[in-house]
Amino acid sequence: MTIRSASLHWNGLAKFFHWSIVVLLLAQGIAAVLMDGFPREMRGTVMMLHKSTGVLILLLAIARLAWRLMSKAPPVLPEVSAANRMLAQLGHVVLYVLLFAVPLSGFLMSAYGGRVTEFYGLFALPNFVAANDAMSALMHQIHEPLFFALVLAAAGHAAAALYHHYIKRDATLIRMLPGNRT
Ligand code: HEM
Ligand code: HEM
């Protein structure tokens, strides 16, 4: 399980984006599913935190994609077959699309509904769009299903990473883990 060249590694920024988004998404997803269980008087704060963390994830996803388009990703390890390479690339595109679609649908649900998004109570974000009840309802309808699609895609992606690590015993997972392990 060795990596022949340091250039095959994901750099610190790539790892920071990957794992900070994973941790925030986990917390956001768990809190969202439990959202209805919070006492009535806490709902306003819980929703403010939900929207703010969702916007934070969206900002990180934008920064990450910008970084990804500007710098080169390390090449896929030579031992990975062409078919698996294509499957992984397709999976990554799906993950990126959903990473944008989930928070964006949430933000647009709120903005088209004419409601304010207070970023952690610090300042109000501009809504960017004029109020539109039909669009708000549409965003409401797709927000949760998109989240479940993201959960499915991420589960498949994590299973693939574990398959590389434990079954194929190659360095695919290790080169994405924090720290320089080569
Ligand atoms: C990656 C980020 C996000 C994830 C994973 C996520 C996930 C979810 C989930 C799973 C629910 C359903 C909760 C339930 O009813 O049990 C939900 C509801 C909601 N989300 Fe998000 N969300 C994200 C971002 C956002 C953003 C950025 C906003 C707005 C700025 C937002 C606004 C809402 C609202 C208003 C609801 C309640 C909808 C209702 O009343 O049924 N979300 N979210
Ligand atoms: C919500 C969860 C996750 C999301 C949204 C996500 C997203 C992504 C994306 C978009 C990439 C492609 C990187 C790029 O080309 O910019 C990637 C790479 C990677 N992810 Fe994740 N990931 C998640 C969870 C995980 C987990 C739990 C693991 C480990 C068990 C993992 C392991 C990896 C590895 C090893 C790579 C590098 C693959 C390669 O070298 O080709 N990811 N991830």
What's the domain count of the chain? Answer: 1
Query: Is 69 a member of any domain?
Result: yes
pLDDT for the residue numbered 181: 57
pLDDT at 2 over 70: no
Pairing of strands 123-125, 117-119: antiparallel
Q: What is the position in ligand 1's atom list of the atom closest to the CA of 24?
A: 1
pLDDT of residue 7: 57
Mean local confidence (pLDDT), 10-15: 92
Q: What is the mean pLDDT of residues 95-107?
A: 98
Helix H or strand E segment including 45: helix 43-70
Smallest CA separation from ligand 2 atom 39, residue: 172
**Residue 15: CB within 6 Å of ligand 2?**
no
Q: What is the DSSP string of 60-101?
A: HHHHHHHHHHHSPPPPPPTTS-HHHHHHHHHHHHHHHHHHHH
Pairwise CA distance, residues 67 & 73, whole Å: 10
**Is residue 182 domain-resident?**
no
pLDDT surpasses 80 at 4 = no
Q: Which domain holds residue 126?
A: 6-176
The one-letter code for the residue type at 8 is L
**Of all residues in the chain, what percent carry a pLDDT higher than 70?**
95
8-state DSSP, 126 = P
Distance CA 76, CA 85 (A): 7
Q: Would 181 be classed as within a structural domain? A: no
Residue ID of nearest Cα to ligand 1 atom 28: 106
* Spacing of C-alpha 94 from chain mean position: 11
**Residue 5: band (very low, low, confident or very high) from pLDDT cuts 50, 70, 90:** very low
Give the range among 17-31, 47-61, 66-80 with minimum mean pLDDT: 66-80
In a domain, 41, yes or no: yes
- Tell me if 151 sits within 8 A of 29, measured CB to CB: yes
The CB of 32 under 6 Å from ligand 1? The reply is: yes
Higher-pLDDT residue of 56 and 179 is 56
pLDDT for the residue numbered 1:
42
Q: Which atom of ligand 1 is nearest to the CA of 104?
A: 27
